[in-house]
Structure 1
Amino acid sequence: MDLVLLSKAVVMGVVEGLTEFLPISSTGHLILTGSLLNFTSEKAKVFDIAIQTGAIVAIILVYWRRLIDTAAGLQDDGRARRFMVNVLIAFVPAVVVGLLAGKAVKAHLFAPTVVATSFIVGAIVILWAERRPVSATRVHAIDDMSPLDALKVGLMQCLALVPGVSRSGSTIIGGMLFGLSRSTATEFSFFLAIPTLIGAGAYSLYKERGVLSLSDVPLFAVGLVFSFVSAWVCVRWLLRYVATHNFVPFAWYRIAFGIAVLLTAYMGLVDWAE
């Protein structure tokens, strides 16, 4: 295996893991990094989606006890059943919208102005959400979420189909706007990522199986491992961060990144139509 190609897999894996659960759009960062590394083939696009599974393993490792307790209590624990139902309710909208509109989104929305606008508008929404009074928060724990709360977060996740929006950003900030506390919205976003990203990865691998071969296993394995390690570090850090900080710094970062998108596109450095 080409060591240069493996080194690109390492970088892409680290970028995926560090950005997947922050409200800054992993897709935007992977497009930028892939372009700078000249890692933009059809196989690379499948790779970008597949390595999300490594990030999900990090979530499973961090929350393994909660997940095991939930699975064990599905038969006789109402709290466990409610939690599982809420995750499934939140998961369904993205599946439906993704299957119906996925091709149209890729054909028409992967453009510099759309990506940059998504970054900047998302930043404004974050700043707005963080200025709302604490009294607007009514749900302080995942177990207190209703099916309607879960559906609202699931509908917000659909916005992440637009490049630059950020799946984590849309679900976390959307949850906050609908009355979830910052920590509750963040944790529910983590749990919702499990079926969402595993499903997206499996679907992408199946659909694009014709461009893959056994020789690609080392490339994907390296990407998965580094995605897992960096995501585990990021998730552990983010859980501590949200306990005492807000998301305002990420909003300003999104604005800077939106400007960077426009500049790199104008200068011809990055093909944001990927």
Structure 2
Amino acid sequence: MTIFQAIILAIIEGLTEFLPVSSTGHMIIGSSLMGIQSDEFVKLFTVAIQLGAILSVIVLYFKHFFQSFGFYFKLLVAFLPAVFFGLLLSDKIDQLLESPLGVAIALLLGGIILLFVDKWFKDGEIDNHNDISYSTAFKIGLFQCISMIPGTSRSAATIVGGMSQRLSRKAAAEFSFFLAVPTMFGATTKKLYDFYKDGFVISGDQVNLLIIGNVVAFIVAMLAIRYFITFLQTKGFKIFGWYRIIVGGIILLLLVSGYDLHVI
């Protein structure tokens, strides 16, 4: 992987991680078009640069992380289903990650759902994440587990899950951002552990790529989050639904044409 390729992947990560469009689907297209060969470091890189995206959430919502212990307990309650099902279904998830066709189908189906979300959940009564109950947090955590299917989008699953529990678009999106912190940190930690457990070592050049990737992902994610909240409040989800359908269609066309797509 070159520095240029690392920067492009980090831009993709920063733009798509918090939008309901599936970062996995975009990583497939981006890495394949750039001819990046999947190996253990590339797999680690695509997960580890999530730390930059996590930091953007902490910086933008700094005050929220120091309001009360109840805030952390709610995040823990919402995070626990992902821990349970992630450990239980880890082998099955790895198998799904090997299927670009599955990712394309998930993108298409999720896109169709987003076309109707604004009609299904028009009036969210809860406009402040502080008013979210523990039971609601747990239910949103269950929705997050759906995103273990590659191509679904963690952001889409948790935001739609929040809106189904009477959260406003803004409150659902913000809680999705907050929940990303323990979820993505946990995924990165596990990936690093597995990397070293399997006997791999990160070289000096690879460390530089990780630093560059995280810095770029941090900056881009900051911008994406800022504009996403405003856009979501005024425009809704329909444009993201059509966009997902287009991306899923592109992946299907590439597969039909015999293009060698791979999930990194």
TM-score bracket for this pair, using the shorter chain length = over 0.9
Q: Give the secondary-structure state (helix, strand or coil) at the position aligned to 2:166.
A: coil
* TM-score (structure 2 length as normaliser): 0.93
Separation in structure 2 between the aligned mates of residue 185 and residue 171 of structure 1, nearest angstrom: 7
The yes-or-no answer on 1:256 pairing with 2:246 is yes
Separation in structure 1 between the aligned mates of residue 158 and residue 108 of structure 2, nearest angstrom: 17
The yes-or-no answer on 1:119 pairing with 2:117 is no
Contact persistence 1:265–1:272 (CA under 8 A): no
Question: Shift in Å at residue 83 of structure 1?
Answer: 2.0
Report matched runs for 1:194-209 at 5 Å. 194-209=181-196
- Structure 1 segments unaligned to the other structure (5+ residues): 71-79
The one of 162, 183, 189 aligned to 2:149? 162
The one of 248, 268, 272 aligned to 2:258? 268
The yes-or-no answer on 1:214 pairing with 2:180 is no
Question: Shift in Å at residue 273 of structure 1?
Answer: 5.1
Contact persistence 1:175–1:185 (CA under 8 A): yes
Q: Counterpart amino acid of 2:122?
A: V
Contact persistence 2:28–2:263 (CA under 8 A): no
Separation in structure 1 between the aligned mates of residue 238 and residue 158 of structure 2, nearest angstrom: 16
* TM-score (structure 1 length as normaliser): 0.90
Deviations 1:77-96 (CA, angstroms, capped at 9, x unpaired): xxx23322111111111111
Contact persistence 1:90–1:152 (CA under 8 A): yes
Separation in structure 2 between the aligned mates of residue 109 and residue 30 of structure 1, nearest angstrom: 12
The one of 232, 237, 251 aligned to 2:227? 237
Separation in structure 2 between the aligned mates of residue 203 and residue 34 of structure 1, nearest angstrom: 22
Moved more, 213-222 or 154-163: 213-222
Deviations 1:75-122 (CA, angstroms, capped at 9, x unpaired): xxxxx2332211111111111111111221221453233112111111
Separation in structure 2 between the aligned mates of residue 220 and residue 157 of structure 1, nearest angstrom: 27
Report matched runs for 1:217-228 at 5 Å. 217-228=207-218
Q: Give the secondary-structure state (helix, strand or coil) at the position aligned to 1:186.
A: helix
Question: Shift in Å at residue 133 of structure 1?
Answer: 5.4
Separation in structure 2 between the aligned mates of residue 60 and residue 163 of structure 1, nearest angstrom: 25
Q: Counterpart amino acid of 1:243?
A: Q
Separation in structure 2 between the aligned mates of residue 12 and residue 133 of structure 1, nearest angstrom: 34
Contact persistence 1:14–1:226 (CA under 8 A): yes
Question: 1:19 maps to what in 2?
Answer: 16
Q: Give the secondary-structure state (helix, strand or coil) at the position aligned to 2:2.
A: helix
Percent identical residues: 38
Contact persistence 1:119–1:165 (CA under 8 A): yes
Q: Give the secondary-structure state (helix, strand or coil) at the position aligned to 1:211.
A: coil
Contact persistence 2:96–2:102 (CA under 8 A): no
Moved more, 32-41 or 5-14: 32-41
Cα gap change, 1:273/1:133 in structure 2, threshold over 3 Å: closer, same or farther? closer
Q: CA RMSD in A?
A: 1.5
The yes-or-no answer on 1:179 pairing with 2:179 is no
Separation in structure 1 between the aligned mates of residue 107 and residue 55 of structure 2, nearest angstrom: 27
Cα gap change, 1:178/1:224 in structure 2, threshold over 3 Å: closer, same or farther? same
The one of 39, 61, 64 aligned to 1:63? 61
Tell me which stretches of 4 or more aligned residues in structure 1 moved more than 4 Å: none
Question: Shift in Å at residue 259 of structure 1?
Answer: 0.7
The one of 148, 151, 160 aligned to 2:135? 148
The yes-or-no answer on 1:54 pairing with 2:52 is yes
Separation in structure 1 between the aligned mates of residue 218 and residue 247 of structure 2, nearest angstrom: 24
Separation in structure 1 between the aligned mates of residue 97 and residue 59 of structure 2, nearest angstrom: 35
